[in-house]
Amino acid sequence: MLNVGKIEEGLVLDHIKAGKSMVIYKHLGLDKLEYPVAIIKNARSNAMGKKDILKVECDVDALNLDVIAFIDPDITVNIIRDGDIVEKKQLSMPRMVTNVIRCTNPRCISTIEQELPQVFYLADGRRKIYRCRYCDEKYTEKGSKSWY
C-alpha cells in the first residue's frame, strides 16, 4: 500500500481523471514554485476506477482554482489547515480563462499580436464550449496543441 504523509496547510486535489495530474501540475505553475507536491497517479477509486491525486503544501490562496476548474470541473478541492480538511470545494466552470489555452485561428489578432493575453469565455456551459474573446473561434481539446 502506498503511503503519502499528510500536509499541514495546503490543497489536496482529488478525483482527477487518471493521467491529467501532470497537466494540472504544469498549468498551476507548480514546476516553477518551491512548494512540496505529491503526485499520485492511477490510484484505485471505487467511483472512477482509477484517479490521480495532487497534494500541494502551500498557502491556500496561492493557486488559481479557475485553471483547475477549466481542466476538469469535477475535481474536488480539499482545503487543509493544521493538518485537517476544513473545507471541500466543488468547482464550476469559470466564465473566462486567461493565458491557459491559445487560439488556433491563424487570422486571430491574438495570434498576430503576441503580447495580447489569450482570453476565452464560456459560450455554452452545458456543452463546455469556450470561445476566443477576439475572434470567437471555438476551443476544442481533441488533437489540440493549444495549451500554454
Q: What is the pLDDT of residues 91-140, one digit of tens each?
A: 899 999 998 889 999 999 998 898 999 999 999 988 989 999 999 999 98
**Largest interatomic CA distance in the chain:** 53
Q: Where in the chain is the domain with CATH 2.30.30.20?
A: 95-148
* 139/50 Cα distance (integer angstroms): 27
By the 8 A CB rule, do 109 and 134 touch?
A: yes
The pTM (predicted TM-score) of the whole model is 0.78
* Range(s) of the chain covered by CATH 3.30.70.140: 10-90
* Sequence-separated contacts (24+) of 34-42 with Cβ below 8 Å: 35/10, 35/62, 36/7, 38/4, 40/2, 40/4, 42/18
In CATH terms, 95-148 corresponds, of 2.30.30.20, 3.10.20.740, 3.40.50.2300, 2.60.120.20, to 2.30.30.20
Question: How many residues in total does the chain contain?
Answer: 148
* CATH of region 10-90, choose from 3.30.70.140, 3.40.50.10310, 3.30.360.10, 3.40.109.10: 3.30.70.140
Question: Which pLDDT does position 143 carry in this prediction?
Answer: 46
Question: How much is the average pLDDT of 16-22?
Answer: 91
Q: Identify how many contiguous H helices and E strands the chain contains and give both numbers.
A: 3, 8
